[in-house]
Amino acid sequence: MRPFLLLLALAALGPAAVGPATAVGQEDGPLASSDAEVGAADPQDPAPQPAEPEPAPPEDAEAPDDGVDDEPIADDEPTDAELEEDELGDFGVRARDRQRRRRPEGPPLATALRYYFEDVEVRGNERTRSSVIRHYVPYEEGDVVDPSSDQLEDIEWLLRGTGFFREVTISLKRGTRRGWVVVVVDVEERNTIVVTQLVAGISEGLQRSTDREADAVPYLGFTLAETNLLGTGAQLSLSLLGSTRAQAVRVAYDNPLLLRRGWSFGAAAFFNSGRHYFGSALFDPNVNCLDDEGMPRPSCVEERTARNIVIFYRRAGAALSTGHGLGSNSRITLGYQIEGAAPRGDIPIASISYGDEVRPFVANFRDDLSWISMLRATIEYDKRNDPSMTTRGIHFRMGAELSTPALGSDYEFLRASTLFRAWAPLPWRDHALRFSLFLGTVFGEAPFFYQFQIADLTDLVPSQVLEMQLDRRGAPNILGTAIGEMRVEELAGRFDVQYELPIFRGRRVRRLNLVFNVGILYLTDPDALRLGVAGYSGAAQIPVDLTFDLGLRFDSRIGVFQIGFSNLLGFLNLFEE
Look at strands 144-145 and 165-174 and give their pairing. unpaired
Amino acid letter, residue 550:
L
Instruction: Give the number of other Cβ atoms within 10 Å of residue 563's Cβ.
Output: 12
- Residue 85: pLDDT over 80: no
Same domain? For 239 and 157 the reply is no
Same domain? For 94 and 211 the reply is no
Q: How many CA atoms lie within 13 A of 210 on its CB side?
A: 8
pLDDT at 114: 75
Look at strands 193-205 and 309-325 and give their pairing. unpaired
DSSP sequence for 212-235: SS-EEEEEEEEEEEEEEETTTTEE
Spatial neighbors of 166 by CB under 8 A, at least 6 apart, are: 188, 189, 190, 510
Q: Band the pLDDT of 554: cuts 50, 70, 90.
A: confident
Assigned domain for 240 exists: yes
Helix 91-102 and helix 80-88, axial crossing angle in degrees, nearest 10:
150
Q: Is 241 exposed, middle or buried (0-12, 13-18, 19+ CB in 10 A)?
A: buried
Residue where a domain stops, chosen among 189, 224, 258: 189
Residue where a domain stops, chosen among 136, 170, 189: 189
**Which range, 233-247, 271-285, 545-559, has the best average confidence (pLDDT)?**
233-247
Residue where a domain stops, chosen among 189, 208, 223: 189
**CATH code: domain of residue 368:** 2.40.160.50
pLDDT at 112: 52
Helix (H) or strand (E) holding 505: strand 491-505
CA 227 to chain centre: 14
Expressed as residue numbers, the domain containing 529 is 193-571
Q: How many Å is the Cα radius of gyration of the chain? A: 32
pLDDT at 299: 53
Same domain? For 159 and 198 the reply is no
Same domain? For 87 and 150 the reply is yes
**CATH code: domain of residue 34:** 3.10.20.310
**Coil/strand/helix, residue 169:** strand
Q: Convert the pLDDT of each residue in 404-459 to its tens digit.
A: 999 999 999 999 999 999 999 999 888 999 999 999 999 999 999 999 999 999 99
Q: Convert the pLDDT of each residue in 115-137 to its tens digit.
A: 899 999 999 998 899 988 988 88
Rounded to a whole number of angstroms, the distance between the first and last alpha carbons of the chain is 118
Distance between CA atoms of 2 and 7, rounded to whole angstroms?
Answer: 9
Instruction: Give the number of other Cβ atoms within 10 Å of residue 424's Cβ.
Output: 12
Same domain? For 401 and 337 the reply is yes
Same domain? For 269 and 400 the reply is yes
pLDDT at 163: 80
Same domain? For 339 and 362 the reply is yes
Q: How many domains does the chain have?
A: 2
Distance between CA atoms of 44 and 10, rounded to whole angstroms?
Answer: 29
Q: Is 75 left (phi over 0), alpha (psi -120 to 50) or beta?
A: alpha
Same domain? For 299 and 219 the reply is yes
